[in-house]
A and B are shown apart, each in its own frame.
Chain A
Amino acid sequence: NAGVTQTPKFRVLKTGQSMTLLCAQDMNHEYMYWYRQDPGMGLRLIHYSVGEGTTAKGEVPDGYNVSRLKKQNFLLGLESAAPSQTSVYFCASSYGRNTDTQYFGPGTRLTVL
């Protein structure tokens, strides 16, 4: 049981480049989330999904897109990366929205030059 995994662990992009971050969970959770973590800002929700084929905007969705084609996977895309998107990105999952515990992945450190 791997829990929540994220790939890649590190990535450096140039401004304007695109990339996709992959999150996978093997706990059969319905809900999945993408957060970004910046110094002094805590965790801010980018997008989330309440089930396969659904996505919704969080607190800071601009510049990002997501897809949930399979229940176990949640993809975060950056179409045209900007230096302001330099951050550590965490994926999380939970059984339901009102389930108390969210399980986090190990994070992806993204630098946009």
Chain B
Amino acid sequence: QQQVKQSPQSLIVQKGGISIINCAYENTAFDYFPWYQQFPGKGPALLIAIRPDVSEKKEGRFTISFNKSAKQFSLHIMDSQPGDSATYFCAARIYGQNFVFGPGTRLSVLP
């Protein structure tokens, strides 16, 4: 199954709060899981990524948690800021093949 499911579709968080976006997949052959951030009117840009041999990766306020047995991974944004307001896409890739993207989550961080 070459599909990545993503939830929620939209998310509203207060400034300083934690934003959590979840993704799930079926194909255990996926070996790379990036998150892309897209601001209005711009193209997506790689934010953070993880491989299935680790359970967590942190870069500043952004953390990916990976649960291989549940075939789920999530993006956590700590101390969310209005500047984080964007659409976030999870994705997955099998080595040697093209990326599959989730449908996206629109995050709004209220000041």
Report A's interface with B, CB cutoff 8 A: 4, 33, 40-45, 48, 58, 90, 92, 97-98, 100-102, 104-107
Decide if A42 touches B102 in the complex (CB within 8 Å).
Answer: yes
Decide if A43 touches B98 in the complex (CB within 8 Å).
Answer: no
B96's partner among A44, A97, A105 (CB-CB below 8 A) is A97
Report B's interface with A, CB cutoff 8 A: 6, 9, 32, 34, 41-46, 49, 89, 95-99, 101-104
Decide if A97 touches B104 in the complex (CB within 8 Å).
Answer: no
Q: Residue on A with the closest CB to B6?
A: A42
Closest 4 CB pairs between A and B?
A: A104-B43, A42-B101, A43-B101, A42-B103
Decide if A41 touches B34 in the complex (CB within 8 Å).
Answer: no
Decide if B42 touches A106 in the complex (CB within 8 Å).
Answer: yes
Q: Which residues of B contact A98 (CB under 8 A)?
A: 95-96
Decide if B98 touches A48 in the complex (CB within 8 Å).
Answer: yes
Q: Residue on A with the closest CB to B4?
A: A42
* Complex: A92 Cα to B49 Cα, angstroms: 18
Q: Residue on B with the closest CB to A44?
A: B101
Q: Which residues of B contact A92 (CB under 8 A)?
A: 43
Q: Which residues of A contact B43 (CB under 8 A)?
A: 4, 90, 92, 104-107
Q: Residue on B with the closest CB to A43?
A: B101
Decide if A100 touches B97 in the complex (CB within 8 Å).
Answer: no
Select the residue from A33, A92, A102, A107 with max chain B CB neighbours within 10 A: A102
Decide if B103 touches A100 in the complex (CB within 8 Å).
Answer: no
CB distance from B79 to the nearest CB of A (A): 26
Q: Which residues of B contact A44 (CB under 8 A)?
A: 101
